[in-house]
Structure 1
Amino acid sequence: MPVRVAVIVLSWNAADALLPCLAAVLRQSRPSDKLLVVDNASADASIAQVAATLPEVEILANSRNLGFAGGMNVGLRHIIAASPSFDVAVLLNQDTLVDPGWLAGLLAQFDEPQVAAVGSKIRYPDGRLQHAGARLEWPLGLVRHVGWGETDQGQYESPRDYALLTGAALALRLAALVEVGLFDEGFWPAYYEDVDLCWRLVRAGYRLVYAPAATLAHQESHSTRDEVTRMAYYHQGRLRYLLKRLSLTELSEAFAPAEASYCAARRATPEERALRWAYAQTLAHMHDIVAARMPLHLNEDAAHAHIVSVLHRLQQVPGQTHYHAALTSAQQLLG
């Protein structure tokens, strides 16, 4: 039977970008079976304009901003519950312009049942490459996009497996998603929810494939234009992901010393402010992070209790928002 596919576009205060994005999706050589917009309580005219000009687009309007993970999960639950059922959901950022063969390029990689996610070849508006797959730089967990900033000369024209693909334009097999679970909504408002989901899919034995025929342009960071704010959210997501994934040994012996060096090298820079904020937020949400970690590290119950106890004390340290104090305490805890 033909694959049934839905495209989900998450919208938030970007009326100037949303209509062109949707129009490009509607011009696909292989049309989607549904085009769904999930709006995260936009204050502009985004949804009114879509409703007035594109009646074929279904709209779900959230009463508040649920972030990327929460907003996309609203759309995914809606698609999973639909009848007749869908096989694939494609997540797409609002500040993108997909090429006519984009969707066909994604779906061509789903022939094998172990393929759970397919990623796109993404370029900046000026034509430079933005994403041809992705990797994590260990032990800091920094995301590195393959091909980033390069001129596209055909060097990434072969499909290949990666352990990480960006969620900006990502196709997901719904059966695999139901098995491993939807996005972790603790990654609010954005960043690393896609890293976390990719890790869980790979951990469950699935493949993630980069599809060079699925091409598009992406403005990037349209919803968060202030650079310090963007970096703060990025590091907050990174810390949540690492605290969920890494073993206690990895945290103490690899991550902590590398993080100390990374922080020291960014003293008196805008990123220092972002890191300071991210550490404070991570400490404030440690109960939730530990709860998310526990099912993934079933033999660490006693260690988890100890972490919670010590991190409660960390939160009482004067000047706790200074990442150096937090890092020193964390190293003592994990060392």
Structure 2
Amino acid sequence: MTLPVGFRVELDRHTRVIDGGRALLGGFPTRLLRLTPRARRLFVGRSLTVRDAASALLADRLTDTGMAHPVAHSLPAPADPRYTVVVPVRDRPRQLDRLLRSIGTDTSVIVVDDASRRPAAVAAVAACHGARLVVLAANAGPAGARNAGLRLVTTPYVVFADSDIVLAPETVPTLLRHFADPLVAMAVPRITGLPAPARSWIERYENARSSLDLGAHPALVRPGTPVSWASSACLVARVDALAEGFDERLRVGEDVDLCWRLIAAGRRVRYEPAVRAAHEHRVRLGDWLQRKAVYGTGAQPLARRHPAYIAPAVFAPWGTAFAAALLVQRRWSVPAAGAVLGVVTLRIARRLDGTRHPYRLAARLTVNGALGTLAQTSALLTRHWWPLTAVGCTASRRLRRAAAVAAVADIALEYRRDGTPLDPLRYGLARRLDDLAYGAGVWFSALEGRSTTALRPRVTR
């Protein structure tokens, strides 16, 4: 299967064009791709359009390595763009009405009532909008409800949208264009907050830092990359690629499981932030904390199904040595950490031999790797391992210092990056509560499952 003529890709913002266009450096993991003179002529600036078999092969290689991404609005529309929207719902008639109004009456919609306590209200809303209603006698959970609707879909594509979502008119048509790539099985939009004034400081934080918001940049979804999973709050998928659909044994993390099963089968999942779906975030502190903890409880079931994909952090061997040297906080720590970085820079430079500035490029890559290592170490201390950190802080002054630096640095960096209208104090409080709740959920699931798989970092070359 090859990409069609007219398929256009653009280099990722982190992909560097080096040596006057003779090579590309980027992707996940980072790699050097040397270009032949013929391949260089295929580019117009930082974009490439498929015109023949050679350009299709190069575009496919670039997208598969994360060095480039499809330009969604320029992709050809599918030959048969018909789709059905499946909406799992339990009560929430007001939210369901809002979603169905955003979808319109020209689209096939299946509403699956997952054993609502007030089924008449849900039925009235579905009837008002001409949606097909399926009523489940017992609560099956999000996965079971979606599968019940999926079994009734007869169109080539299915859209899953939670009842607390609002769809923009261009969201689904744009996502459908990604299926011009025959390997794409699923495409998801960016999930943002509803366009309304925030009523609380938690809502302002969530609008800037939602767990469902995967960022402002397009990505190929793949474990171990910046976008390692995709949410089922809103997604578009090929019906024939889903097989039996979601795993109904999972009450949380069922979307991550489906995403990773598709990837393991050799299919692609695209994240497209050029289009959005608005989500009604939880705004009450208790509900918000509970939801964060629930997300964490999905870690161990996912670890049991996908042990190679899940880890709270992924380190290179040198990254482990670098972080350990700094954490022990001895007189020799900084020189030792610097020596590690020096050795790594030399090793990377040898691999970049033949480029114009191998040591300059290697130094940049080493610094980026060191910053990533520090960020993951900080997350371990303040999020995934916080119960251990809390216990250790009672006995170790060095650990107290490391935890304090990690917490403050994390808040300072993320506050600037998120651009939230929330003041730094409340942002910092919300950030720490977010981490505490999620980490508690992870530990609860690990203890319940009697396994530490979801808590163990992975060291890989």
Correspondence for 1:24: 102
2:128 corresponds to: 53
Work out whether 1:15 is the aligned partner of 2:15: no
1:182 pairs, out of 234, 237, 245, with 245
Contact 1:91 1:168 in 2 (8 A): yes
| Structure 2 contact 190–213 (Cα < 8 Å) conserved | no
Matched-pair contact (CA < 8 Å) for 1:228–1:271: no
Quick one: higher RCO (CA 8 Å, sep 6+), 1 or 2?
A: 1
Q: How does 1:1-335 map onto structure 2 within 5 Å?
A: 1-26=79-104, 31-32=106-107, 34-44=108-118, 45-54=120-129, 56-79=130-153, 85-126=154-195, 145-147=213-215, 156=217, 159-163=218-222, 164-178=229-243, 181-188=244-251, 190=252, 192-221=253-282, 226-246=287-307, 258=380, 261-265=385-389, 279=443, 286=449, 311=450
Give the letter aligned to residue 240 of structure 1: P
Counterpart-to-counterpart distance in 2, 1:51 and 1:248:
39
Pairwise CA distance, 1:186: 2.4
Q: Provide the rounded CA distance (Å) in 2 between the counterparts of 1:265 and 1:75.
A: 45
SS in structure 1 at match of 2:269: strand
CA 1:69–1:177 in structure 2 vs 1: closer, same or farther (change >3 Å)?
same
Structure 1 distance, partners of 2:185, 2:150, is 15
Deviation at 1:14, TM superposition (A): 0.8
* CA gap 1:225/1:114 in 2 versus in 1, 3 angstroms: farther
SS of 2:260's equivalent in the other structure is helix
- Separation (CA, whole Å) in 2 of partners of 1:59 and 1:273: 36
- Structure 1 residues 199 and 281: CA distance shift in structure 2, 3 A: closer
Distance 1:203 1:230 in 2: 28
Amino acid at match of 1:165: A
Indicate conservation of the 8 Å contact 1:121/1:216, yes or no: yes
Unaligned runs of 5+ in 1: 80-84, 135-142, 148-154, 287-310, 312-325
Q: 1:53 to 1:185 in 2, by over 3 A?
A: same
Deviation at 1:165, TM superposition (A): 1.9
Deviations 1:274-331 (A, max 9, x none): 76676556655x5xxxxxxxxxxxxxxxxxxxxxxxx5xxxxxxxxxxxxxx86xx99
Aligned residues, how many? 257
Gaps of 5+ in 2: 1-78, 197-203, 223-228, 316-375, 392-431, 457-461
SS at match of 2:179: coil
Deviation of 1:247 (Å) = 5.0
8 Å CA contact 2:386, 2:436 repeated in 1: no
The Cα of 1:231 is off from its aligned counterpart by: 2.9
Amino acid in structure 2 at the alignment position of 1:117: M
Shift of 1:240: 1.2
Residues 264 and 130 (structure 1), Cα distance of their counterparts in 2 relative to 1, 3 Å cut: same
Deviation at 1:227, TM superposition (A): 2.9
What are the Cα deviations for residues 159-200 of structure 1, in whole angstroms up to 9, with x where unaligned?
54222221111011112111xx42122221x3x211111111
Distance in structure 1 (CA, Å) of the matches to 2:309 and 2:177: 40
Q: Aligned letter for 1:211?
A: E
Structure-1 residue corresponding to 2:29: none
TM-score (norm 2): 0.48
Q: Secondary structure at the match of 1:109?
A: helix
Question: 1:101 touches 1:213 (CA, 8 Å); kept in 2?
Answer: no
CA shift in 2, pair 1:225/1:168, >3 Å? farther
Amino acid at match of 1:162: V
SS of alignment partner, residue 35 of structure 1: strand
Inter-partner Cα distance in structure 1 for 2:309 and 2:81: 43
Percent of aligned pairs sharing the same letter? 26
Q: Match of 1:110, SS? A: helix
Tell me how far 1:4 sits from its aligned partner: 2.6
Paired letter, 1:161: L
Alpha-carbon separation, structure 2, partners of 1:273 and 1:216: 25
In 2, Cα distance between the equivalents of 1:249 and 1:99? 33
CA distance in 1, matches of 2:272, 2:152: 26
TM-align CA RMSD: 4.0
Q: Give, as a single letter, the amino acid of the residue that structure 2 aligns with 1:186.
A: R
- Equivalent residues of 1:13, 1:223 under 8 A apart: no
After superposing on structure 2, the runs of 4+ consecutive aligned residues of structure 1 that deviate more than 4 Å are 127-131, 221-225, 247-251, 265-284
In the alignment, the residues of structure 1 paired with residue 155 and residue 122 of structure 2 have an alpha-carbon distance, to the nearest angstrom, of 24
Structure of larger gyration radius: 2
**Cα deviation, residue 214, structure 1:** 3.2
Does the 8 Å CA contact 1:232/1:278 hold for their aligned counterparts?
yes
How far did 1:49 drift? 2.1
3-state SS in 2 of match to 1:201:
helix
